[in-house]
Amino acid sequence: MTQSPQPAKILMIDDDEDVLLAAKMLLKKQNYQVIIEKNPNKIPFLLNNDTYDVILLDMNFSKDITSGKEGFYWLEKILEKDPNAVVILITAFGDVEMAVKALKQGATDFILKPWQNEKLIATVSTAIRLRQSYNEVDKLRKAKELLEEQISKPFGEIIGESPAIKEVFTLIDKVAKTDANVLILGENGTGKELIARAIHQRSLRHNNSFVAVDMGAITETLFESELFGHKKGAFTDAREDRPGRFELAHGGTLFLDEIGNLSLNLQSKLLSVLQSRQVTRVGSNQPIPVDIRLICATNMPLYDMVKQGTFRQDLLYRINTVEIHVPPLSDRIEDIPLLADHYLKVYARRYNKPVVGITPGAMEKLKRYAWPGNIRELQHAIERAVIMTDSDMLQETDFLFSRPVAASAETLNLDEVEKAAIAKALNLHSGNISKAAAELGLTRASLYRRMEKYGL
């Protein structure tokens, strides 16, 4: 069911209430949403709280009957707020020269009072189409900017410049244009799905679907229905025919995440489909051919599982034509500043916080931490810090980790050693000054002085 387009929204400002009401009644008959206002001083409030397709603005208000100065003033203010605003001036017969001057200053058109209804409707209708064209141009411009940004960042959201991640980029480029099955191995939170999507976007199938399936979230009973589909009436809740994920990915890429979680029984069913390249919906005997590019991922040790008999060797050979090992964050420490800055911008914008950066001390703390949860843990740490901070720069005390932060082993400088000890104590006691001071054998005042000295 398609939604009806929203009616165009018109704002009209005139100090003559009769003029306002007459225009509102006329324009509402054209299915426009009309907001009227007598006081021009409310224009900033109105523009801050809403957007309008067309603004009808009187040139002269009661304070200044004939010069049009107020009209020029408010036209300038409106265009400062929205350079694409479509403003139609309302003026008297004797003010045509003034209206032409206003057109040169950015107004779109003008209406003479008293107006002819057909002329007002036609002028407003043309102005609305102009505004729509501005909006379309703006959308195209933003789409072009996004495309250029994606082109300039060939791996999209995969952020990094370390040798470890550059090796992954090289493998993606090599494998993407082929149809080879890919197995992505890596710890939780390293961005395995981003790697899979990057492969799909660079493949010959990029114009078709990328279908992701979390194999760890599918129960034994729903496995076949979810992956292979079902016929209406095949089981109690099967109220209609439904294609499975293999069919949905036909012509595109099927990404099976956490494939190491499958039981041997389900591994067998999956292997059968991968070998035959056809699926049979639950409740049907009719096989359906499928053409998919398969990418799998797991954080589990599949080779050890093969030795233990918990993962089929023939399935492993089927899915790992090419393997990509995604490095943990601890192996790409030099990427932490790039990642941290990226998430800082994301969450500062999302939560409307004036946070613009991370202090050098805080960045060193991030680099020394082990990141057992990898990029996902870093992302959550930055998000929490942005939410909780009262500063425009994230400080060391904004990051509280459940595991200790390693002290730097590269210096014997006493200041650096003392700074690391204070940071460790603050982290250990979740920023509690009294407990940290007691742990360090200092008074609260002494600890505060040292925190100020080291920017903690």
Please write the tens of the pLDDT for every residue from 120-129. 999 999 999 9
**What are the start and end residues of each CATH 1.10.8.60 domain in the chain?**
331-454
Q: What is the mean pLDDT of residues 381-410?
A: 80
The single-letter DSSP state of residue 97 is: H
CB atoms within 10 A of CB 183: 21
Beta-carbon-side half-sphere exposure of residue 286 (alpha carbons within 13 Å) = 5
> Which CATH number describes the domain made up of 9-140?
3.40.50.2300
Q: Which of 30-34, 129-133, 148-152, 395-399 has the lowest mean pLDDT?
A: 148-152
**What are the start and end residues of each CATH 3.40.50.2300 domain in the chain?**
9-140
Q: What is the mean pLDDT of residues 258-278?
A: 94
Please write the tens of the pLDDT for every residue from 35-56. 999 999 999 999 887 889 999 9
Distance (Å, whole) CA 446 – CA 50: 53
Please write the tens of the pLDDT for every residue from 173-216. 999 999 999 999 999 999 999 999 999 999 999 888 899 999 98
Query: What pLDDT does residue 152 have?
Result: 47
Please write the tens of the pLDDT for every residue from 302-311. 999 999 999 9
Distance (Å, whole) CA 231 – CA 242: 6
Query: What pLDDT does residue 257 have?
Result: 94
Q: Tell me the CATH number of domain 331-454, given options 1.10.3720.10, 3.30.70.370, 2.40.50.100, 1.10.8.60.
A: 1.10.8.60
% of the chain residues with pLDDT over 90: 56
Model-wide pTM > 0.75: no
**What are the start and end residues of each CATH 3.40.50.300 domain in the chain?**
163-327
Burial of 302 per CB tally in 10 Å (0-12, 13-18, 19+): buried
Q: What is the mean pLDDT of residues 89-102?
A: 76
> Which CATH number describes the domain made up of 163-327?
3.40.50.300
Please write the tens of the pLDDT for every residue from 323-346. 999 999 999 999 999 999 999 999
